[in-house]
Amino acid sequence: MNFDAIDRSILHELQNQGRMSNADLADRVGLSPSACLRRVRQLEEGGIIQDYVALLNQDMTARSQNVFVQITLKSQESHDLQTFEAQVNDCPEVMECYLMSGDQDYMLRVIVKDAQDYERLHREFLTRLPGVDRVRSSFALRTVRKKTEIPIG
């Protein structure tokens, strides 16, 4: 989809403050409210705007620790990958999961309360995933930058 300056402006504003009213959004991007709403609906229907969510302050939750987990499987057969991915999708602590190129097959970002909580997750879930050969974990010491806005244009 090709974005013009108005679309880019709408997407920028919504990515930074998704709760603003249509009237406020229209004012910020220089459109009438009806034209702005039409544009937003086109972006939603086109799949560019996928959803609206509330972003929580992770440090204020019971799971403030990020752990990056590299997982290598015994086999990279399509069925084995699908089985692994289906089980990973059922774990609430797994916030992100990527199929990777390189030495490991998957990179996960999991959130836990502390090292003991991660030990539990490692023992009861990660090492029991189907086909797991190796698990390597790195605890994040501090978040330096975390963005949610995808640059458009």
**What does CATH list as the number for 58-139?**
3.30.70.920
Task: Tell me the fold of 5-45.
Answer: Arc Repressor Mutant, subunit A (1.10.10)
The C-alpha atoms of residue 73 and residue 152 are separated, in whole angstroms, by: 36
Q: How many residues comprise the chain?
A: 153
Tell me how far CA of residue 114 lies from CA of 66, 108, 141, in angstroms: 9, 17, 12
CA 109 to chain centre: 9
Instruction: Give the model's pLDDT for residue 2.
Output: 81
Q: What is the pLDDT of residues 64-110, one digit of tens each?
A: 999 999 999 999 999 999 999 999 999 999 999 999 999 999 999 99
Confidence class of residue 36 from pLDDT cuts 50, 70 and 90?
very high
Q: What's the sign of the alpha-carbon dihedral 90, 91, 96, 100?
A: negative
Tell me how far CA of residue 66 lies from CA of 82, 94, 110, in angstroms: 25, 10, 6
Average pLDDT, the chain: 96
Find all residues with CB under 8 Å of 113, minimum gap 6, and list them. Answer: 62, 63, 64, 65
**pTM for this predicted structure:** 0.88
Residues 26-48: what's their mean pLDDT?
97
The domain limits of the chain are: 5-45, 58-139
Helix, strand or coil for residue 45?
A: helix
